Chain A
Amino acid sequence: MRKSFLSFSLLGLVMLFLYVPIILIFAYGFVPNGVSMSFFGPGGHFQGFSGRWYGLVFSGHHSVRALLQSFWLSLRIATLATLVSCVIGTTSALALHRWRSRLQTVHYGLVYTPLIMPDILIGISLLMLFVACGVDCGFWTILIAHVTFCVSYVTMTLLARLQDFDDRIIEAAYDLGAGPWYTFFKVELPILLPGIVAGGLLAFTLSIDDVVITSFVNGAGTNTFPTYVSSMTKHSRNLPAVFVLSTLMLLFTGVLAGVSKLLTGKSTRQA
């Protein structure tokens, strides 16, 4: 089979394009000067690498404390938002899969529309709701916003999985005398679990990455990691610490993805 040389070389260039900033994020964690963000001194000579920023992050130094706090807030919100949106998303996908009625048509529209709305419109409409209700923005408003945009993604991931689902298994469970609750917890949930995990992972990454919606509903003083970083980029002297945290996160998620790939790979081989 003749392979297209042009498309393959373009793929190589695109990979380079995608990875250069990532390599830089890794490199900037070792930059000696946090203001000029350069490895080179005024005379243009190389100044070497610095482990100072790793030291600051690991010792929780007071100059990076606010950054670390915003990071913990992001983790807390992402975890809670994932859990809540997994529960709501599962019921939603089950309902959409099982019933065909006017209610489900409206329901599908409600789940689908947030996916094709730009983030900024979701953010501003939630801000308007909180303004109209007179709620102070903070932790809870961020959590509500994150659950709102995660639910649709979890539902859609699960719906795709449910298409391969053999509905006769449920009928068999009912025929054998199982009630709806028993069927759900003992039959449907275990089968759906991989889909729920996949949807949950997606929700977690979306939540921890979100800056647009959060910046509308975070209120004064409550910053998640992304909003804190975007406010830091204007004046901070500790920017390399951001790159250190990002490198650590990338390593952590990379290892996690590798392990999960290994685990799922093994389980499919056993099956």
Chain B
Amino acid sequence: MTKKFREVVVTAPSFLWLMLFFAIPSIIVVAFTFHGHTPNGGVGEWSLSTWRELVDPDYPVIVWKTIRISFEITFWCILLALPCAYAIARMKTKWRAIVAGAIMLPFWTNFVVRVFAWKTMLHPDGWLQSCYFAFIQFRAWLFDGLPPFLRDFFIWVHLASPTPPDPASSTILDSETAVILVSVYTLLPFAIMPLYSAAEKFDFSLMEAARDLGAKSFYAFRKVFLPGIRQGLISAILMVFIPAIGSYVIPQMLGGTNCVLIGNKIFMRAIQNRNIPHASALATLMAVSVFLPLLCALWWRRHQAARERRQVEIRAARLMLGGTK
């Protein structure tokens, strides 16, 4: 048995499986977009009709909405996860494992069941709805006291609402707020974990040094801690942003008709309307607009890191040669 042959044999199972069930299906998706569809839900002749159908003024709106909501979800997740990761990393070793475990434990219950529990909690007759409406009233009261030009500014940046609060139109269920809230709930542990494992390796004496040198704690946090856990930050953002872009279960269960995202459209076209080429085209659109740039960025980063490492090696070799001279 030659060495090469052994490598091929060991590589074959996973390589063939992923080729057959991951790589080739991706190519089929792209190929299907150049077909028409048949009325009985099949795939028709080669044509460009599907791409022509896609020129629908609704789609850019939906794509933009998906990207905007994903950014909002990522922002809130990171904002909440950073102090949590920091707090866990500063605990005693024994407590760290317990708290990290406690954060992951809720995720042993089923995803759909958790989302459904939220749906029950956000029911229009429930206490969360009352809290939400009280918050809206409070916000209206707060902005009413402002001079008109300031209030117009807050309305312009979507922090204030131009209409007075109305209980019928401000239900939290079937709104974007519900989708963002529950998405943050389901994705938060995936933001905390990478940040925590980066923070655990972080040398906290650097923070003390910064403070000794006169930095305020928030300044030290921003200028020493955040750059120190950069790798964890990047993976946390990816861990939240990617599922958020592709999510469709939460918008479907909690967003109603007010929060239809690109994932919902793909599911509708593929399963409910059974328009296979159209669903393929939407999936291709999603992959091209978000994941190709992401993939390129990741590969470039790897390449860049490898180049830096090579340069360091070259420099080290030069130093050594210089030393022996």
Contacts and interface: CB of A to CB of B under 8 A. Distances in A.
B15 interface: yes
B10 interface: yes
Contacts of A152: 18
Query: What's the interface size class on B, roughly?
Result: 35 or more
A1 B208 CA distance: 9
B84 interface: yes
Interface string B208-224: 00000000010000000
A4 B87 CA distance: 7
Given A4-B87, A128-B29, A122 B22 contact: yes
A122 to B, nearest CB: 7
B116 interface: yes
B248 to A, nearest CB: 6
Interface in A224-242: 225-226, 229-230, 233, 239, 242
Interface string A3-21: 1101110110011011111
B271 A215 contact: yes
A226 B112 CA distance: 6
B87 A7 contact: yes
Contacts of A107: 11, 14-15
A114 B29 CA distance: 15
B111 A211 contact: yes
Contacts of B102: 15
A99 B121 contact: no
A148 interface: yes
A120 interface: yes
A21 B106 CA distance: 9
A220 to B, nearest CB: 10
A148 B17 contact: yes
Contacts, number: 235
B10 A226 contact: no
Contacts of A170: none
A88, A180, A225 — which one has the most chain B CB atoms within 10 A of its CB? A88
A47 interface: no
B80 A125 contact: no
A126 B25 CA distance: 6
B295 A151 contact: no
Contacts of B242: 116-118
B256 interface: no
Interface in B31-66: 32, 42-43
Chain A interface, DSSP helix/strand/loop, else mixed? helix
A53 interface: no
A126 B249 CA distance: 18
Contacts of A88: 13-14, 17
A92 B14 contact: yes
Chain B interface, DSSP helix/strand/loop, else mixed? helix
A116 B238 contact: yes
A209 B111 contact: yes
B314 interface: no
A192 interface: no
B75 interface: no
A21 B189 contact: no
Interface of A: 1, 3-4, 6-8, 10-11, 14-15, 17-22, 24-25, 28, 37-38, 87-89, 91-92, 94-95, 98-99, 101, 103-104, 106-107, 110-111, 113-114, 116-122, 124-129, 131-132, 144-145, 147-148, 151-152, 155, 180, 205, 208-209, 211-212, 215-216, 225-226, 229-230, 233, 239, 242-243, 246, 249-250, 253-254, 257
30 contacts: A7-B86, A11-B88, A17-B185, A21-B114, A22-B106, A22-B109, A28-B120, A37-B120, A91-B10, A91-B13, A91-B14, A94-B10, A106-B15, A107-B14, A110-B22, A114-B18, A116-B298, A124-B283, A125-B29, A125-B283, A128-B28, A128-B276, A129-B28, A131-B276, A205-B108, A211-B249, A212-B246, A233-B112, A242-B116, A249-B108
7 nearest interchain CB pairs?
A: A118-B246, A92-B14, A125-B25, A7-B83, A129-B25, A7-B87, A120-B246
Interface of B: 1, 6-8, 10-15, 17-19, 21-26, 28-29, 32, 42-43, 80, 83-84, 86-88, 90, 99, 101-103, 105-114, 116-121, 123, 125, 185, 188-189, 192, 217, 238, 242-243, 245-249, 253, 263, 266-267, 270-271, 276, 279-280, 283, 286-287, 291, 294-295, 298
